[in-house]
């Protein structure tokens, strides 16, 4: 079961996020749960891998806003990085694979907290 304590141990800034949610733990955890199923994760991966940087940017930008508001820092760091690269249409040396894999790994960790 997902808890604020598990999120905090994972590296989320739960104090900041809880303040945004008026210290309503149930509301915060519900929002985190919804974000875990956000289709923009798949859209980001598919778009970037197919070379559609515009669609990738749109998905990444959407994820960035929600992840930062929920203070899911371990996951938001990589999403912020890819968002800015896509915004500027900059392809990192070696492509986007490493960033996409990092995002997938962090999302898997987050999903695992719900066990």
Q: CB count, 10 Å around CB of 11? A: 15
Is there a contact between 45 and 83 (Cβ–Cβ < 8 Å)? no
CATH number of the domain within which 47 lies = 1.20.120
| pTM over cut 0.85 | yes
Domain limits for position 48: 4-112
In order along the chain (115 residues), what is the average pLDDT of each group of 10 residues? 96 96 97 96 98 97 97 97 97 95 97 91
- Please state the domain count of the chain: 1
pLDDT in tens, 68-99: 999 999 999 999 999 999 999 999 999 999 99
DSSP assignment, residue 38?
A: -
């Amino acid at each position: 079961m997902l808890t604020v304590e598990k999120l905090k141990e994972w590296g989320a800034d739960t104090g900041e996020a809880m303040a945004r949610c008026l210290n309503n733990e149930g509301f915060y955890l519900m929002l985190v749960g919804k974000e875990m199923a956000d289709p923009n994760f798949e859209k980001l991966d598919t778009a970037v891998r197919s070379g559609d940087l515009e669609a990738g940017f749109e998905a990444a930008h959407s994820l960035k806003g929600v992840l930062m508001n929920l203070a899911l820092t371990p996951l938001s760091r990589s999403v912020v990085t890819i968002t800015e690269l896509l915004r500027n249409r900059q392809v990192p040396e070696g492509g986007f694979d490493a960033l996409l894999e990092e995002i997938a790994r962090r999302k898997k960790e987050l999903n695992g907290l719900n066990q």
